[in-house]
Amino acid sequence: MVNQDGEYILTVKNIKDGCTVHDTLYVKKNLDLPSVDIGVDHVLNCRKDTLQLEAILNKFKSNYSFKWTGAGINPNNERDLKQVIRIPGIYSVSITTPNPECNAVDMVNITIDTNTYKISIEDTLWFSCDNKIISFREDSTTFTKLDSISWSDALDNRIPTNDKGRSITLTKEGRYKYLSYQKNGCFTFGSFVVIPYTTIKVDQVIVNPSCLSHPTGSIKINVLEGTGPFKYSLDGSPADTISFFSQLIPGIYNINIYDRFGCPKLVTVEIKSLIVLPTTLDNQTLSLNICQDTIIDAKEILRRNNFNPDSASYQWSFNGTDINIGQSMTKISATGRYAIKFINKNGCETVTVFYHVTQDNNINTVTNEFNLCQDTIISADSLIKELGFKPSDVTIQWKLDNVEINNGQSTLKIDKGVHLNSSLSILKFVRPLSIYS
């Protein structure tokens, strides 16, 4: 018995005389192979979630066997010719014969398509300032996967359309619904709302003034109503979503506010200038000749220049060293270089005034003796002029027997009956430096 094809040679030898004969036999395969057919690949979907496969057996003999394999095959019925398929996967039927060369197999691939496709309409639509009609048309890429789209209003009243619902036109605000039927049998549904146009309303415009010396002004726009996102343009600048503008100089500004449709609203804003220190004082050097300790109040300088002294802070220095920090007044008791820095509380600028202080030693006091024979009136003005001063430049203190009398008056009456034989009368002139401004 042979089980291989090929050439077989038979040799017969006579053992008596040693003669041999040969015969040749050629064996060829002539297998009657069985076959099985279970069809073509299939797709499960929402329309067809089950299918039946049937195995067609050809040249199947009783001593052959067959069975199904695959994810949805129950071992109890794997030898049934027909199978109900609900699960995607690779399915096969194999025939087994006594001769392994005669075995046969067929297989199919079962896939599933339950994909859903959301139509591209947005959840919220708006009428614009110049358009009260909304038209929607589904793109071709999505619509090729659909059978149709059904549209309805909030009360489920169907809206008639052409082209299987691919396009729709809306002229009223409100909520709408849609139901899309797909070619794979699946469907999607959803809703959207159409909102009427809302005019832009500005809630608040916050404006901060600017220094004249450098731009510090700003504008902040707060929108109360409208359809965003909003964009803002300052004096024709490219529109941007930033609603805050800074580093602005004093002046009039036009701000256009654009809603999502490009509809504008104009807001006009004025940035005012902050108060300015009297800059004409800056870097001035004043000469001051003192004969005694002198108090200078820097606030008086600002008052005389029509600036509110409470709107500035102050810093004194003497020969480059800060003194009397935060105080407007300082006592000048030594010669040298004093400086007062005025700092605008609004942060705009500073002004510095310098004082070159020297000592005046020409005269402190003048004493005269009087021999009275009658009542006498003494006038200080003539003596003041002799000393080279103006009467308005000094204050006067009168003393009689070391007792101050008639203070501040330019004349003094010496009464013979009262003041006769008094020990001494003193006329004292003092330059009015208690406050220098």
**pLDDT at site 388:** 58
Q: State pLDDT tens for residues 89-140.
A: 999 999 999 988 899 999 999 999 999 999 999 999 988 888 889 999 999 9
Residue 178 CB-density burial (10 A; 0-12 exposed, 13-18 middle, 19+ buried): buried
- Give the pLDDT of residue 153: 94
CA–CA distance, 14 with 227 (Å, rounded to integer): 116
More confident residue, 430 or 400: 400
Question: Tell me, what's the pLDDT at 393?
Answer: 63
Which span out of 125-139, 236-250, 293-307 was modeled with the highest average pLDDT? 236-250
In angstroms, what CA-CA distances link 387 with 95, 269, 383, 399? 144, 63, 6, 20
In the predicted structure, residue 374 carries a pLDDT above the cut 70:
no
Give the pLDDT of residue 394: 67
What is the C-alpha separation between 269 and 202, in angstroms, rounded? 12
Q: How would residue 277 be classed by pLDDT, with cut points 50, 70 and 90? A: very high
CA distances to 173, 399, 404, 411, 417 from 421, rounded to whole Å, are 113, 15, 18, 20, 9
Inform me whether the pLDDT recorded for 423 exceeds 70: no
Q: Is the pLDDT of residue 41 over 90?
A: yes
**pLDDT value of position 428:** 47
Instruction: Label residues 132-167 b or e (16+ Cβ within 10 Å = b).
Output: eebebebeeebbeebeebbbeeeeeeeeeeeeebbe
Give the gyration radius of the chain's Cα atoms. 57
Output the average pLDDT for the chain. Answer: 86
Summarize the confidence of residues 183-197 as an average pLDDT. Answer: 93
Which of 19-28, 203-212, 237-246 shows the lowest per-residue confidence on average (mean pLDDT)? 19-28
With beta carbons less than 8 A apart as the criterion, state whether 355 and 347 touch: no
Confidence bin at 144 (pLDDT 50/70/90)? very high
Q: How far is CA 201 from CA 124, 253, 327, in A?
A: 21, 18, 49
Range of weakest confidence among 91-95, 349-353, 373-377: 373-377
The predicted structure's pLDDT at residue 18: 78
pLDDT value of residue 208: 95
- The answer, yes or no, to whether residue 346 has pLDDT greater than 80, is yes
Amino acid sitting at position 58: N
Q: Between residues 421 and 280, which one has the greater pLDDT? A: 280
Residue 436 has pLDDT above 60, yes or no: no
Contacts of 262 (CB under 8 A, 6+ apart): none
* Residue 362's pLDDT band (cuts 50, 70, 90): low
Interatomic CA distance for residues 395 and 382, integer angstroms: 14
User: Which pLDDT value is given to residue 4?
Assistant: 76
What are residue 258's DSSP bridge partners? 231, 264
What is residue 361's predicted lDDT score, i.e. its pLDDT? 61
- Residue 10 has a pLDDT of 82
The 10s digit of each residue's pLDDT in 60-83 is: 999 999 999 999 899 999 999 999
Residue 434 has pLDDT above 50, yes or no: no
CA distances from residue 22 to 6, 11, 12 in whole angstroms, order as listed: 17, 4, 6
Q: What is the pLDDT of residue 372?
A: 62
Q: Could you give the domains of the chain?
A: 35-113 (2.60.40.10), 124-195 (2.60.40), 201-271 (2.60.40.10), 279-359 (2.60.40.10), 376-430 (no CATH)
Pick the more confident residue, 29 or 233.
Answer: 233
Query: Which range (12-16, 26-30, 168-172, 421-425) has the least confidence?
Result: 421-425
| Confidence band for 431, pLDDT divided at 50, 70 and 90 | very low
For the chain, how many residues are written? 437
Secondary structure percentages of the chain, helix, strand, coil, to 5: 10, 50, 45
Q: What is the pLDDT of residues 202-212, one digit of tens each?
A: 988 999 999 98
Mean pLDDT of 263-290: 91
* 37 half-sphere exposure, CB direction, 13 A CA radius: 5
Q: In this predicted structure, which of 61-70, 148-157, 253-262, 390-399 has the lowest mean pLDDT?
A: 390-399
Query: Which range has the top average pLDDT, 14-18, 99-103, 110-114, 397-401?
Result: 110-114
The DSSP line for 39-90 is ---EEEESS---EEEE-EEES--TT-EEEEESTT--GGGTT-SEEEE-S-EE
- Answer yes or no: are the C-beta atoms of 187 and 179 closer than 8 Å: yes
Quick one: pLDDT at residue 344?
94
- Residue 15: predicted pLDDT: 83
pLDDT > 70: what percent of the chain? 87
Which tokens is 19 given? 């003669």
Question: Which pLDDT belongs to residue 341?
Answer: 95
